[in-house]
């Protein structure tokens, strides 16, 4: 059995854990919610790099064999530094603009993400590789992370907050919306309700989970523990309440 470390600025990375656990149920997991320092979205790059190092040290001390940076903002800010400094494999989040561009009918793709992710090199590289003819419009999901961290994932307050950032993308003609932050899938029912039926919402987590499984196979970390109950250890730098509540909702 391998130990997979997963971290995010908060409970959002559980949307990635959920997809990983679906295909790798026989592994051990360590999940770190860095909610004492959440949100990461507007924080300086160096700050996020420092947090990522601290969390990586903790993960390695606790036996992680591979680490998933289940946070688009931390991937953008820190994954290159982590890969250069640590002798362990890191799997990061990829902005899913390419699969979105492949299915748009209007030719307009909408991206919701944090300011840090939208300013990052990885995102701009992904945009530069798109075929010409697809227009990408972006918006920061203002207040989305705070909603999820306070345990609010539906209802009028969530709808008002989501609508303020999503509507401009819909008004621009987007028929595909990429969720570029791992907290946002917890709001996907609200997002889908506001966007309506003709709009496809893309969560990159299943693709990240498949990539992790491939890398584990290559690294010889493939599970021998199939069928055993997984050991999931949850840690948080702040209050554990939301993390436990969302984790419970995933496993019920």
Tell me which residue has its CB nearest to ligand DGL: 41
What DSSP state is assigned to residue 199?
-
124 is in an annotated binding site: no
* Residues contributing to the site for ligand DGL (CB under 6 A): 8-9, 12, 38-41, 71-73, 114, 117, 145, 181-183
Q: Could you tell me the smallest distance in angstroms from the CB atom of residue 140 to ligand DGL?
A: 9
In the chain, % helix, strand, coil (3-state, to 5) comes to 50, 15, 35
Element (H, E) at 233: strand 231-236
Q: CB-based contacts of 62: which residues, under 8 Å, 6+ apart?
A: 3, 5, 30, 233
Q: Which of 73, 83, 57, 241 is nearest to 148 (CA)?
A: 241
200 is in an annotated binding site: no
Q: Could you tell me the smallest distance in angstroms from the CB atom of residue 179 to ligand DGL?
A: 9
The CB density around residue 240, as the number of other CB atoms within 10 Å, is 15
Of 28 and 182, the one with the shorter C-beta distance to ligand DGL is: 182
Answer for the pair 181, 96: CB distance below 8 angstroms, yes or no.
no
Q: Could you tell me the smallest distance in angstroms from the CB atom of residue 160 to ligand DGL?
A: 19
Of 145 and 176, the one with the shorter C-beta distance to ligand DGL is: 145
Q: Could you tell me the smallest distance in angstroms from the CB atom of residue 107 to ligand DGL?
A: 26
Of 71 and 79, the one with the shorter C-beta distance to ligand DGL is: 71
29 SS3 class: strand
Residues carrying an active site annotation: 71, 181
35 is in an annotated binding site: no
Of 2 and 181, the one with the shorter C-beta distance to ligand DGL is: 181
Report the distance separating Cα 13 and Cα 179, nearest Å. Answer: 13
Binding site feature residues for substrate = 8-9, 40-41, 72-73, 182-183
Binding site feature residues = 8-9, 40-41, 72-73, 182-183
């Amino acid at each position: 059995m391998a130990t997979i470390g997963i971290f995010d600025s908060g409970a959002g990375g559980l949307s990635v854990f959920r997809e990983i656990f679906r295909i790798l149920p026989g592994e051990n997991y360590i999940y770190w919610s860095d909610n004492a320092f959440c949100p990461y979205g507007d924080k300086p790059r160096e700050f996020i790099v420092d947090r990522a190092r601290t969390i990586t040290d903790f993960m390695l001390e606790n036996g992680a064999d591979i680490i998933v940076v289940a946070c688009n903002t931390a991937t953008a800010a820190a994954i290159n530094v982590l890969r250069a400094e640590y002798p362990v494999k890191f799997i990061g989040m990829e902005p899913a603009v390419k699969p979105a561009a492949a299915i748009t009918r209007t030719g307009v793709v909408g991206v919701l993400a944090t300011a840090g992710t939208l300013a990052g090199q990885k995102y701009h590289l992904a945009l530069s590789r798109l075929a010409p003819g697809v227009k990408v419009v972006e918006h920061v999901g203002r207040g989305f992370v705070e909603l999820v961290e306070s345990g609010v994932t539906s209802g009028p307050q969530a709808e008002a907050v989501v609508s303020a950032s999503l509507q401009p993308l819909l008004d621009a003609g987007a028929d595909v919306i990429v969720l570029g932050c791992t907290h946002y899938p917890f709001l996907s029912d609200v997002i889908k309700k506001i966007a309506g039926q003709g709009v496809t919402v893309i969560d990159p987590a299943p693709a990240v989970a498949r990539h992790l499984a491939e890398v584990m196979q290559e690294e010889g970390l493939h599970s021998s523990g199939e069928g055993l109950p997984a050991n999931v250890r949850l840690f948080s730098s702040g209050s554990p309440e939301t993390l436990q509540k969302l984790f419970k909702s995933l496993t019920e």
